[in-house]
Structure 1
C-alpha cells in the first residue's frame, strides 16, 4: 500500500467514469428488458428501446473492462491509507462495501452477458443487480457525506481532487 494521502487523477477518473456508466445502466437498463421481451413475444421493438438496449450491452462491457483496469491499477499502485481511521467497525464496513462494489461491478456485466446469450434464469439473476446497486450506492453516498460533513476527515475530497 502506498502512503500518499490522495488518489491519482487516473484513480479518480476511473471512479467517476464507472459511476457515470453505472448510473446510465440503472436509468436506462430497462430498455434491454423491453428488447428481450419483444423478441420473445415476436413483437416489434421501438427505435429508442433498440438503441438503449444496444447501449446497455456496450456500456456493460465498458464497465467490465474499466473495472478490470481499475483492479489492475489498484493492485499495481495500491491505494492511499484511509483519511480518517475511525472505529474498527467503520473500517470493516468500508472494506466490505468496496469489496461488494467490485463483486457487483464484475458480476453484473458477466451475468448480463450470460442472460443475453443464454436467457433465463440468468436474466432474473441479472435483474437483482439493480436494487443491490441502488442500496450500495445510497450507503456509499451517505457514508461519504458523513465523512465530509460530520467527521470532516477529507475522505470525500480525496475522490474529488488529487490535492487530498
Structure 2
C-alpha cells in the first residue's frame, strides 16, 4: 500500500474508473448477445455476422473489464486513494460494502463467464448470469450515493472522480 495518501484521485484512477463503467454499461445493454451466439452455434453452427460480432465483443469487453479492474487495484495499492469524505459510520459502511461488492463482481463475473464459455462449466455460467441483476443493484446504489453526496451533502465526492484537481 502507498505510504502517502493523495489529495485527489489521479487522472489514471479517473480514466480507469470511467472506462470500466462504460464497458460494464455496454455489457449490461448488449450482454444478451451471448445467448444469441450460443443458440446459433447449437443450432446450425453458423451465427450471422452481427451475432458473431456481438458475442465476441461481449467476451473481449468482459476480458477488458477484468484486466482494467486488476490494473485499478494495482494503481490503488501502489499510489493510494484520497481519504473518504467525512460521513456517518453507516454511510461509510455502506460505501465500503458497495465498493467492495462492485470490485468482487468485476473480477468474479468475467472469470465465471470465461469458465462457462471456454471451459463449458455450467455452474460458472449460472453464477455469471447472476452478475447482471447484482451489477444493476450495486450500480444504482453507487450512483444514488454519489448523487446524494453531490446534491444533498454538497461535498466533493462526485467531483473527485471527475477531476483530479484537489
Normalised to the residue count of structure 2, the TM-score between the two structures is 0.93
Q: Secondary structure at the match of 2:100?
A: helix
Which digits, 9 at most, give the CA deviation of each residue in 1:15-40, with x for residues without a partner? 00010011111111111111112222
Q: Which residue in the other structure is 2:144 paired with?
A: 142
In the alignment, the residues of structure 2 paired with residue 118 and residue 73 of structure 1 have an alpha-carbon distance, to the nearest angstrom, of 30
Q: Which residue in the other structure is 2:89 paired with?
A: 88
Q: Which residue in the other structure is 1:67 paired with?
A: 69
In the alignment, the residues of structure 1 paired with residue 155 and residue 7 of structure 2 have an alpha-carbon distance, to the nearest angstrom, of 11
Deviation at 1:127, TM superposition (A): 0.8
Q: Which residue in the other structure is 1:118 paired with?
A: 119
Flag structure 1 segments of 5+ consecutive residues without an equivalent: none
Residues 149, 157 of structure 2: 8 Å contact kept: yes
Residues 149, 158 of structure 2: 8 Å contact kept: yes
Deviation at 1:44, TM superposition (A): 3.9
State the 4+ residue runs in structure 1 displaced beyond 6 angstroms: none
Q: Which residue in the other structure is 1:108 paired with?
A: 109
Count the aligned residue pairs.
Answer: 163
Q: Which residue in the other structure is 1:97 paired with?
A: 98
